[in-house]
Amino acid sequence: MDMDERKLRILQAIIDDYINTGEPVGSRTLSKKYNLGISSATIRNEMSDLEEMGYLIQLHTSSGRIPSDKAYRLYVDKLIEVPKLTIAEERAIKKYIVDSAMYEVDKVLKCTASILSSLTGLASIVNTPTTELSYIKAITLLPVNKSNVLLTIITDSGVIRQKVLKTFHEVKDDILTELNNLINTSLKGATIDDITHKLISELKEGFSGHEDIFMSLLQSVIESLQEVDLSKVYIDGAVNILNFPEYQDIAKAKSMLTFLENEETLKNLLKMNDKFSIVIGSENNIEEAQGCAIITTTYGVNGRTLGTIGLIGPTRMQYSKVISILNNTVDELNKAITKNYEE
């Protein structure tokens, strides 16, 4: 059975109506609300064909039909048109992100997740730049007291991590200054994966005198760099899912909230996706996510991907509007991060 133009128009009308109302759609509703130019009986026959083709589901014999995951896939691939945001929406996104751009990247990403969940009414997720994608911009060692030194790592994407290192004996300021200079000269522009035993040996050769102190501190720095997971996942608006009828069932809502609280699962979810991805219902490999749609896209600097940002909600969502908001927000995010990067 072929998907002709008439079936496509009927299917689009059904999906649009169901997204807007959340109610199963019948032939009479379509005939009254949409100018399809065909009789209610013809619509009924076409809906029967669409059900047979796997695009519609009838929950009860007396009710209308709802779209299947297969229908939503066709809808997002071929039928929707992404609208331009209103000037007010564009300004709100720009102001929110620009105002946050004065902070470090983590704060900018948190604010981005917040504006996304607020504008879409969905749950938003974003991961910070990973160690594999970040370059060391600066490393500083500052004395805290006689036996502790504060290590600060700054990446090119603006991510900052700090850790207190124990030295067990006092390290003089001139030694710390020399070590700071040596480490930054050698490690600036390197990734965590670039730090090898060979590089450590080369660093040792460049440091004359106080080898015991140097090796003790350097080893602590190296271990800290390799231990620190620069990638975090931020989520905002998880409770938004409770506003949807699809999650009025307590067990279903609990399962979804548990899924959204699992940082490792979300990290893997964000790793799997391409530059732009829409995964719908049963297409999800994660069982808890098979009742929802996940829309993700990447963000970065000068064409280099730094991380992924996305939205999670029921398969019955305003895809065109959500995509428009996500695209616009990521454009502003990229500008903000690029500004930080260049500074």
Question: Tens digit of pLDDT for each residue in 120-146?
Answer: 999 999 988 765 556 788 888 888 887
| CATH classification of the domain holding 252 | 3.30.450.40
Are 308 and 335 in the same domain? yes
CA contacts within 13 A on the Cβ side of 158: 24
Residue 146: is it exposed, middle or buried by C-beta count within 10 angstroms (0-12/13-18/19+)? exposed
How much is the mean pLDDT over the chain?
Answer: 84
Q: Is the pLDDT of residue 10 over 90?
A: yes
Are 124 and 266 in the same domain? yes
| Burial letters 211-241, b for 16+ CB under 10 A, else e | eebbebbbebbbebbeebebbbbbbbbbebb
Whole-number Cα distances in Å, 66 to 28, 76, 130, 280, 333: 14, 16, 40, 15, 36
Point out the domain boundary residue: 191, 226, 261: 226
Are 242 and 338 in the same domain? yes
Are 248 and 277 in the same domain? yes
Confidence of residue 54 (pLDDT cuts 50, 70, 90): very high
Which range has the worst mean pLDDT, 182-186, 191-195, 203-207, 305-309? 203-207
Point out the domain boundary residue: 179, 194, 226: 226
Structure tokens at 197: 């035993």
Are 244 and 201 in the same domain? no
Are 119 and 250 in the same domain? yes
Model pLDDT for residues 264-315, shown as the tens digit of each residue: 888 888 875 568 999 999 998 888 888 899 999 999 888 788 889 999 999 9
Are 209 and 184 in the same domain? yes
Three-class SS state of 136? strand
Going across the sheet that includes 148-155, the strands are: 136-145, 148-155, 160-166
Confidence of residue 343 (pLDDT cuts 50, 70, 90): low
Q: Is the pLDDT of residue 53 over 80?
A: yes
| CATH classification of the domain holding 45 | 1.10.10.10
Please tell me which residue, 200 or 163, carries the higher pLDDT value.
163
